[in-house]
Structure 1
Amino acid sequence: MNLRGLQLFRDIVLTGTLADAAERSNMSISAASRLLSQLEGQLGLALFSRSRRALALTEDGTLFYRQISSTLDALNEIPDIARQVATRGSRTLSIVAATPIANQLVVPPLARLRSTASETEFSLHVESRFAIESKVAAGGYDLGLISLPVENEIVPLDIVPLIRARLCVFLPKDHALARQETVTVDQIAGEDFVTLAANQRWRDRLDALLGAAGYRPNISHQTGSTVVTLEMARHGIGITLSDAVFSPPDDAGPMTLRPIEEDTWITYAAIHARDRHPPHADPFLDALSDHVERLRASSPETAQLLHLI
């Protein structure tokens, strides 16, 4: 894939004209036009409508841009990433994750390591899913924590599966379904759901789970944040899918997790750049394993919903 063509595509969207985008890329308008045509040929997509003088995104072009905009932004950060890699100390480990995973799977192990006076310095960063995979692959961060499968890497990653968490419904303890040990897809199909917008991971899981049984979810509200989704469920706006990583049973308060009877599991993994295992990752991963074991020991419910691989 021609990265220069992808950057030109992004610049056209941002500036609104081929001329301005060509100027940003230090090329002539005719060269930019040829590069854009080559990109569309490689993708097999018509990204822009040329029926008028001004280029306008087609429906395919709009969807393509939404899917890769974060990745394209990350490409522009590669020089900064290279400088960070060149200047960082030899005893540092940079970790990146989405906010809920950072809170539940990164912060507690880091606190434990701090109490042991570890010689390694740790930095924790929060990014979107697209940015995590692309920046880890480019070497911008040493280690990423994600749920599988990997979807958006620009270059190959090494993947280390760590944890399995059972897919559950997150609902109030006084909900009728909370009295059951497990719930079926048929039972939740008629419930109102709060969930993420389309093409985000937890929304994809909901659509796949109900779709496999011939249902479409009843979505009362959707948002772009898993944290907000869980908060909406706590306020009684609807139920949602979750697991013991995003919603630890011991911290659930008036809410509870009920596993889906179909016995579906989510795998969480560490990722790093291919063939570049971070030299200081092992103490953190050991502390993460200890943290999960303590969670499992905290209650029989957690032990059933969370497993080390």
Structure 2
Amino acid sequence: MNLRQIEVFRAVMVSGSVTDAARLLCVSQPGISRMLGHIELQLGLKLFQRIKGKLRPTPEAQTLYAQVEQVYHGVKRIEDCARELKTGGGLALRVLASPSIALELLPQAVAETMAQFPDAHVYMETQLVREIVGQLVAGDADLAISSLPVDHPMLQCKPLGQWSLCCVFHVDHPFSKRRSLSPRDILKERLIAFSPDTPQGKALGQWSAEAHWPIDSKIEVRSGQVACALAATGAGIAVVDSLTAHAWAHPALAFRPITQAPTFNAYEIRNANVPPSLISNSLMTRIKEKLNG
């Protein structure tokens, strides 16, 4: 018996007549009668006695019905599962992110995604690129949003949008009166510097070389958050990523864009052999909108 035959047989058993079964399934009575005849012929069993226009199930039909109910409830559970998936039921998403992306951009996108999939479960963790690669390859995470690209044969890395560099400083600094700053403006100040292998450090090094102006720095960091915390105390100014600058809400800190500052891509990274889920696609759409909006 196929699923349609099971559905017709069950409708007749539940309703007790061809007429009511046809009404229940929104089909014609002759169609139900033909289907019952085909089922009996196929099985080689008499399933109903027709007495005065009514159908009386035989013992064979009652035994078959007990099995059909199990199948019906199994199909019902599948249908319920499919409906629940639309709201995230049974879905889990493990997301890794660079620290700057996890400050504001990703939390906002996750909150909006959870509003669409309220029954889903999301796990978030900040990681450096080398840890991101290891966890994605091992299957310990579903996707990552990184401020730097990766090159690995098992991973797919696609650009999502761009971020740039900003200058952060104490709110009492004269820069607060400016709408934007030039690299030369920045080089004249006492800097909270980054190591030369970071995007911030490379930009400062290039500006210094082009302007023939040495970098005045006694403090070096590797974290945009640490640089913002130091700048908020008046320890110096810093060049940080725009994601961190926008997310670092502190009454003592201000920031301005830098003219001719380089731009960098943010990336979606996932296992190339694992198709994305509905919830991960929704999350990535929101992140793209925020990066490019």
What amino acid sits opposite 1:307 in the alignment?
N
User: Any residues of structure 2 matched to 1:39-188 within 5 Å, and which?
Assistant: 91-148=91-148, 150=149, 153-155=151-153, 157-188=155-186
SS at match of 1:191: coil
SS at match of 1:203: helix
User: Any residues of structure 2 matched to 1:189-204 within 5 Å, and which?
Assistant: 189-204=187-202
The change in CA–CA distance for 1:216 and 1:135 in structure 2 (over 3 A counts) is farther
Q: Could you tell me how far 1:214 is from its partner in structure 2?
A: 3.6
Q: Distance in 2 between matches of 1:105 and 1:285?
A: 11
What amino acid sits opposite 2:188 in the alignment?
G
Q: Could you tell me how far 1:102 is from its partner in structure 2?
A: 1.2
Q: Distance in 1 between matches of 2:106 and 2:177?
A: 32
The change in CA–CA distance for 1:278 and 1:259 in structure 2 (over 3 A counts) is same
TM, length-normalised to structure 1? 0.57
Q: Could you tell me how far 1:253 is from its partner in structure 2?
A: 2.7
**Are the equivalent residues in 2 in contact too, given 1:134–1:154 (CA < 8 A)?**
no
What amino acid sits opposite 2:168 in the alignment?
F
Partner of 2:285: 286
SS at match of 2:242: coil
The change in CA–CA distance for 1:277 and 1:193 in structure 2 (over 3 A counts) is farther
The change in CA–CA distance for 1:165 and 1:98 in structure 2 (over 3 A counts) is closer
The change in CA–CA distance for 1:272 and 1:210 in structure 2 (over 3 A counts) is farther
Q: Distance in 1 between matches of 2:140 and 2:253?
A: 38
Q: Could you tell me how far 1:137 is from its partner in structure 2?
A: 4.3
Q: Distance in 1 between matches of 2:117 and 2:199?
A: 37
Partner of 1:206: 204
The change in CA–CA distance for 1:271 and 1:174 in structure 2 (over 3 A counts) is same
Q: Could you tell me how far 1:132 is from its partner in structure 2?
A: 1.7
- Higher alpha-carbon deviation: 259-268 or 110-119: 110-119
How many residues in Structure 1 have an aligned counterpart in Structure 2? 204
**Are the equivalent residues in 1 in contact too, given 2:96–2:144 (CA < 8 A)?**
yes
**Are the equivalent residues in 2 in contact too, given 1:98–1:146 (CA < 8 A)?**
yes
Runs of 5+ consecutive residues of structure 1 not aligned to the other structure: 1-88, 293-305
User: Any residues of structure 2 matched to 1:231-246 within 5 Å, and which?
Assistant: 231-246=229-244
- The answer to whether the aligner puts 1:307 opposite 2:292 as a matched pair is yes
Q: Could you tell me how far 1:273 is from its partner in structure 2?
A: 2.2
Identity of aligned residues (%): 19
Structure number, greater radius of gyration: 2
Q: Could you tell me how far 1:232 is from its partner in structure 2?
A: 0.5
**Are the equivalent residues in 1 in contact too, given 2:98–2:146 (CA < 8 A)?**
yes
Q: Distance in 1 between matches of 2:111 and 2:183?
A: 39
**Are the equivalent residues in 2 in contact too, given 1:137–1:154 (CA < 8 A)?**
no
Q: Could you tell me how far 1:243 is from its partner in structure 2?
A: 3.7
Q: Could you tell me how far 1:200 is from its partner in structure 2?
A: 3.4
Q: Could you tell me how far 1:158 is from its partner in structure 2?
A: 2.0
**Are the equivalent residues in 1 in contact too, given 2:104–2:247 (CA < 8 A)?**
no
Partner of 1:35: none
Could you give the per-residue CA deviations for residues 56-81 of structure 1, whole angstroms, max 9, x where no partner exists? xxxxxxxxxxxxxxxxxxxxxxxxxx
TM, length-normalised to structure 2? 0.60
Partner of 1:223: 221
What amino acid sits opposite 2:131 in the alignment?
A
What amino acid sits opposite 2:204 in the alignment?
L
Q: Distance in 1 between matches of 2:132 and 2:261?
A: 28
What amino acid sits opposite 1:98 in the alignment?
S
What amino acid sits opposite 2:172 in the alignment?
D
SS at match of 2:118: coil
Runs of 5+ consecutive residues of structure 2 not aligned to the other structure: 1-88
The change in CA–CA distance for 1:250 and 1:193 in structure 2 (over 3 A counts) is closer
**Are the equivalent residues in 2 in contact too, given 1:146–1:270 (CA < 8 A)?**
yes
Q: Distance in 1 between matches of 2:269 and 2:161?
A: 13
Backbone CA RMSD of aligned residues: 2.8
The change in CA–CA distance for 1:193 and 1:110 in structure 2 (over 3 A counts) is same
Q: Could you tell me how far 1:239 is from its partner in structure 2?
A: 0.8
Q: Could you tell me how far 1:123 is from its partner in structure 2?
A: 0.9
1:254 pairs with one of 242, 252, 255: 252
The change in CA–CA distance for 1:157 and 1:232 in structure 2 (over 3 A counts) is same
